[in-house]
Amino acid sequence: MAGAICLQGGNEFTAGCREMDTEVLQLAGPGHVAVIAGAARPGADYSGASERARRHYALLGSDVAVVPDPRESVSAAVDAMTDAVSLIVLPGGSPASLRSVLSGAVLTRLLEMHTAGASISGASAGAMVLCSQMVQPGREVDIVDGLGLVRGLALPHWAPGSNRGWPVPDDLDLWGLPECGGVVLVDGTPHAVGRGEPALRHDGKWQPIPGEAHGPNG
């Protein structure tokens, strides 16, 4: 059975996210956490995001395997994505950079792991990339294809009534994701986690996402 997916609104690796991330870890079950900070710039930014993740999950009692930057070595990144990993974490930053990093052999391996039961947690840009459509900021904001693991488009750093001013189609599902909060999907069914009031716009109407407890995955 494929693993759970968590879409987070941002401000990841802070104290406000501990309760949410503890629940995601429980859903993922035993194993390591693998961090792919591909939304960060290569070098110090990638290392810094990875270290923040390591410290955060260490406080939650989990071992973190930092995946080497695929922009420097695809083979080293794939080798770090082992079967011992139960949760893959995608921090925020640039959605375009992360989408580029999650391609080729890295994407193939990520999808293999997820299909085999590994959960995935994406924050801000990480959440955006996991959806079927994503915003690609630039001189003009474009709507482009994401990875397609979750139907719709993620709106990170969201509060009720705010659509970020992005030109999203009226018929596209929108996930409103507050900071330090979001949704977890288990077998496609979402429930709210963390802080704030996540919501889903479906058929043009916003509806709150209820919270619901689940047992460990697998």
Domain 5-208 CATH class label? alpha beta
Which residue in 130, 180, 199 sits closest to 20, CA to CA? 180
Asked if 10 and 157 touch (Cβ cutoff 8 Å), the reply is: yes
- How many residues are there in the chain? 218
SS3 label, residue 34:
strand
Burial environment of residue 111 by CB neighbours within 10 A (0 to 12, 13 to 18, 19 or more):
middle
Asked if 192 and 213 touch (Cβ cutoff 8 Å), the reply is: no
Q: Which helix (H) or strand (E) holds 76?
A: helix 74-80
For residue 214, the model assigns a pLDDT of: 42
For residue 170, the model assigns a pLDDT of: 80
For residue 142, the model assigns a pLDDT of: 80
| DSSP letter for each residue of 157-191 | S--TT--TT----TTS-EEE--TTEEEEEETTEEE
- What is the block-wise mean pLDDT of the chain (218 residues), using blocks of 10 residues? 96 97 96 97 97 97 95 97 97 96 98 98 98 80 90 92 71 93 95 95 90 48
User: DSSP state, 204?
Assistant: T
SS3 label, residue 125:
helix
For residue 169, the model assigns a pLDDT of: 78
The whole-angstrom separation of Cα 182 and Cα 179 is 8
For residue 1, the model assigns a pLDDT of: 86
SS3 label, residue 7:
strand
- For 103, residues 6+ apart whose C-beta sits below 8 A from its C-beta are none
For residue 140, the model assigns a pLDDT of: 63
The residue assigned the tokens 């992005």 is 166
Each domain of the chain, given as residue ranges in start order, spans: 5-208
**What is this structure's pTM?**
0.93
- Percent helix, strand, coil in the chain, to 5, is 30, 25, 45
